[in-house]
């Protein structure tokens, strides 16, 4: 029985390098938590469309793929008393959410459905971690503040059988998800 566990562990270890190769390849050097916080503060001083900091707050930085999320929580804590800044890998603020609502001026220019389809196709060709297209599908695009949600629905349609790709306003794929049909 112990040798069976060893075989499974060996198979998992052999598979790990292939899994790590499929992650997004970030082109910009990593930014520290302090650099992200400094970028947000610098942009606040320069721009009028960004929310001001709370009088007292705590902050948190998370890296998600190549993008960063900077969150401020007011002190004392209260429901929806936070501000969430999304930054791309180059440190540009691409989206802001304050207390559940958007609160920044989106960059000029709008990505078309065709451009979003090209972005997703290009990223699929470059990265191994993205799900393939369905054999037959239809698409839909929705704006969420400054971000784009590019949906692919499998045909024939089944409830919950779709993929979602989130693209920032500069054309970088931020994240994706694949639902499970009901």
pLDDT tens digit sequence for 26-77: 889 999 999 999 999 999 999 999 999 999 999 999 999 999 999 999 999 9
Q: Which of 141, 65, 143 is nearest to 102 (CA)?
A: 143
Query: Looking at the domain assignment, is residue 28 inside a domain?
Result: no
124 has which bridge partners?
none
Count of C-beta atoms within a 10 Å radius of residue 121: 12
For residues 168 and 146, is the Cβ–Cβ distance under 8 A? yes
Burial of 91 (0-12, 13-18, 19+ CB in 10 A): middle
Confirm whether 78 is domain-assigned: yes
Exposure of 71 in the CB half-sphere (CA atoms within 13 A): 13
62 and 88 together in one domain: yes
- Residues 51 and 78 both lie in one domain: yes
Domain containing 73 equals 33-102
CB atoms within 10 A of CB 36: 20
161 has a pLDDT exceeding 70: yes
Question: What total number of domains does the chain contain?
Answer: 2
**What is the predicted pLDDT for the residue at 22?**
47
In this structure, is residue 129 part of a structural domain? yes
pLDDT tens by residue, 99-147: 766 678 998 899 999 999 999 999 999 988 899 999 999 999 999 999 9
Q: How confident is the model at residue 23 (pLDDT cuts 50, 70, 90)?
A: low
* Residue 117, pLDDT score: 97
9 burial via Cβ count (<10 Å: 0-12, 13-18, 19+): exposed
- Taken in order 109, 113, 119, 120, the sign of the CA dihedral is positive
Query: Are residues 95 and 40 both part of a single domain?
Result: yes
Pair (90, 68) in one structural domain: yes
Give the chain's end-to-end CA distance (angstroms, integer).
Answer: 37
């Amino acid at each position: 029985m112990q040798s069976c566990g060893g075989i499974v562990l060996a198979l998992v270890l052999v598979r790990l390098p292939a899994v790590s190769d499929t992650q997004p390849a970030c082109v910009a050097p990593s930014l520290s938590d302090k650099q992200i916080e400094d970028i947000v503060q610098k942009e606040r001083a320069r721009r009028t469309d960004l929310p001001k900091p709370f009088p007292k707050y705590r902050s948190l930085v998370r890296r998600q793929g190549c993008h960063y999320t900077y969150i401020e929580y007011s002190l004392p804590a209260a429901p929806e008393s936070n501000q969430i800044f999304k930054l791309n890998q180059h440190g540009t603020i691409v989206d802001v959410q304050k207390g559940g609502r958007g609160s920044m001026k989106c960059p000029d220019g709008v990505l078309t459905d065709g451009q979003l389809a090209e972005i997703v196709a290009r990223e699929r060709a470059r990265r191994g971690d993205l799900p393939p297209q369905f054999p037959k599908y239809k698409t839909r695009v929705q704006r969420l503040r400054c971000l784009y949600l590019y949906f692919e629905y499998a045909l024939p349609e089944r409830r919950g059988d779709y993929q979602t790709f989130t693209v920032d306003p500069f054309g970088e794929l931020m994240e994706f998800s694949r639902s499970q049909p009901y």
